[in-house]
Structure 1
Amino acid sequence: MAHWLIAGASRGIGLELARRLAKQGERVTASVRSERGRATLATALAPLGDRGRILSFDTRDQSQISAAAAQVTEPVDVLVANAGAYGPKRQTALDMDFEGALDLFSVNSLGPLRVAQAFLPQLRLGERPRIVMMSSVLGSMALAGTVNAAYRASKAALNKFAQCLADELRPAGVAVVSLHPGWVRTDMGGPGATLSVEESAEGIIKVVESLTLSDTRRYVDYRGVDIDW
């Protein structure tokens, strides 16, 4: 039984990951940003009893994250930094909402790094510790495209942080990967996306369960297929 910590589990992929892991009998700690999503997440974690826990924090707020991390005293085996946002309506290189883009970088790029740093002591105590940065194929520098520029750049920055974190933590035995969940039918992905949250979550769990230190610094999708940085 592994202890999974999912940052951002009030809806979509994070919620489905929590639900599936609870059914598998894993220990799950999951976070919400506001109280609106707590009831739904609590229902998903109900089968776990006291092996399920809900934390509250905004990944933009270091003090909230630190306070939440202080509540977790047991080892963490897997950290999934899932919380993210799409960003402002205006986000092309020729028409950018700069304030909105800065906030997006705080959520998508720095937020996962804040969470990883805060929970690193628990991860160091875990069995086969793994950090999963929830990225996107749109963060690939090899992928052409001009729309969603701020979102793309925020995920590219996240990928670079994941690389640096992987190099820093390899000596400690902590594996770090960037993971693209696929184009998923969520509030962010929209109804026209190709994958259900169930399909994405099932693939993510399989990939994460198979990760070893030899996989650190990889950029993969929900099937375990490598993506060009």
Structure 2
Amino acid sequence: MENEDDSRATTYTTIAVGPDFRHELEIRRSRFITVLRRSPDEETARSLVHDLRREFHDARHHCSAFVIGPDRMIQRSSDDGEPSGTAGIPMLEALLKRETSPRVTDLSDVSVVVVRYFGGILLGAGGLVRAYSESVSAGLDLAPLVLRRRLRLCAIEVPHAGAGRLENELRGAGYVMADTGYEPQHTVLRVALPDEATAISEARARLASLTAGHLELRPQGTEWVDVPR
């Protein structure tokens, strides 16, 4: 059985690896500084709050939200002193409802902090909800997004003499080749496939066609990789 759980997500969208992405809005004299970070785990997400508390130590609020995991199972938010439900939840909803393509909301592995410097004018509950939601949305408008895909690595043991030809044929058929291994009796070609039963079945059929059924495709482990959108 190639895939233990076909119900798991095989793709999702996140922000590109790189420096934190920043954006600032001024709303009725209050400054809202939004900072986004690629966060594959809770420790990385919480470190963003810690870092910004030190950097903006004189700010009144450091509100935060994050969503983590291919299936977006980890979701947290904090109002950090703002009236309950006016900051953290709107920020989290801005992440969860972000359309990464038409009618697709799959953004994950992202943490966001909005630092607020109070400008002396009360915004009211509705005004705060709009301000924090708009701050996150404006930051996401600037952050480059990438697609994460779960790929299944599959090995093919090929006699040394035929390895180069088979690799070229697989590449020509559009397959993504991973690292190649060399053993005394054969070369091990590795193909990276979408981690779906149909993709593996199709690759098996193609391999059988290319080698007259003499070689076998052996599914191995999986890994998540960034791929072009």
TM range (shorter): under 0.3
TM-score scaled by length of structure 2: 0.26
Tell me which protein shows more strand as a share of its residues.
Answer: 2
The structure, 1 or 2, with the larger RCO (C-alpha pairs under 8 Å, 6+ apart) is 2
TM-score scaled by length of structure 1: 0.26
Higher gyration radius (CA): 2
